[in-house]
Structure formats: C-alpha cells, structure tokens
Structure 1
Amino acid sequence: MGAMELLHVLTFASDAALLAVAGAVCWSLAVVCLIMDRLREKRRSVDRLERVGFVPWTGLFLGLAIIGGGCLAMSLPVVLGNL
C-alpha cells in the first residue's frame, strides 16, 4: 500500500477507525516508553539523573497506555461490527 492509498483510506475512514488508529499509536508509544524505562533502570551509574537526563518514562507509559486503551475500547464495537 502506497502513501497515497494510505492517505486516501485515512481520509475517508470512519470516526471509530480513526479512534482505533489513535489508540494503536498511543499504545505503540507506550511500548517505546516502557522500553526506555527498562533501559534507564538497567544503567548502573551513581549520578543517573545527570548522565541520562530526567524523563518520567513510567508516567508517560501509564498515561499513553490509559489513553490508548480508552480509544481502543471506545472504537471496538463499531470496528468489530464492520468485520
């Protein structure tokens, strides 16, 4: 599927399909935050905050997972009904 076809599909998609896509994107970003949090925890350094920087990966993961789950839950009946 080319970029133009994908743009055409997203342009004419229903609201529930767009909500499902937004939920999937949020969950994908939540997985990235989870991986980054694990990498930060694995690093053995005394002054971690100064060398790695401070990003609240756990809070970002939790927020994105809740938002993504809510989007997917709201779009699930319509998406399943179209199958």
Structure 2
Amino acid sequence: MKEPDFLLFASDATLIGLAGLAMLVLSFIAFMGERRRRNRRDIDAVGVLPWRDIAALTSLLGLLLMALAISGWLKG
C-alpha cells in the first residue's frame, strides 16, 4: 500500500497532530461507551472495558499531543 503524499512530506508537528486527533476521536468513542454503559436497562449486564478510564487517559494524551503539535506549528 502506497503512503499518501501529504503524510510522506508532513512535518513532525503534523504527524503528532494527527496522532493527537486520533486519541481525541478514541476518547469520544470511549465517552459514548461509558454513556451507554451508564444508561443500560439491565443493571447486571456490566461490560468488560473500563470506558471511563479509557476516555480519561486518551483525552489527556490527545490534548498533550495537540498542544505539542500546535507548539511545533507556531514555531514553524
């Protein structure tokens, strides 16, 4: 599979920004999973994944990566 040209010539800040964006998307998905778990009909049907912890960790990592990317973009 050929790598797209915009990724081939992207700066480190752009790649970090894409990773941060992916973490924020994963955080949103985990938040929706936690919301679904919290509003379940059967109280005994508890899931296996710790959605709250996943959402917290990925949002923290995503915000940190986005801050690094923005810093890199501003420095040029």
Identical pairs, percent: 28
**Equivalent position SS for 1:77:** helix
Query: Which residue in 1 is equivalent to 2:58?
Result: 64
Q: Which runs of 4+ in 1 moved over 3 A?
A: none
Pairwise CA RMSD: 1.7
**Larger Rg belongs to:** 1
User: TM-score w.r.t. structure 2 length?
Assistant: 0.87
Query: Which residue in 1 is equivalent to 2:11?
Result: 14
Q: How many positions carry a matched residue from both structures?
A: 75
Query: Which ranges of structure 1 fall in alignment gaps of 5 or more residues?
Result: none
**Equivalent position SS for 1:54:** coil
> Counterparts of 1:80 and 1:27 in 2: how far apart (Å)?
21
Of Structure 1 and Structure 2, the greater helix share is in: 1
Deviation at 1:81, TM superposition (A): 4.9
Query: Which ranges of structure 2 fall in alignment gaps of 5 or more residues?
Result: none
User: TM-score w.r.t. structure 1 length?
Assistant: 0.80
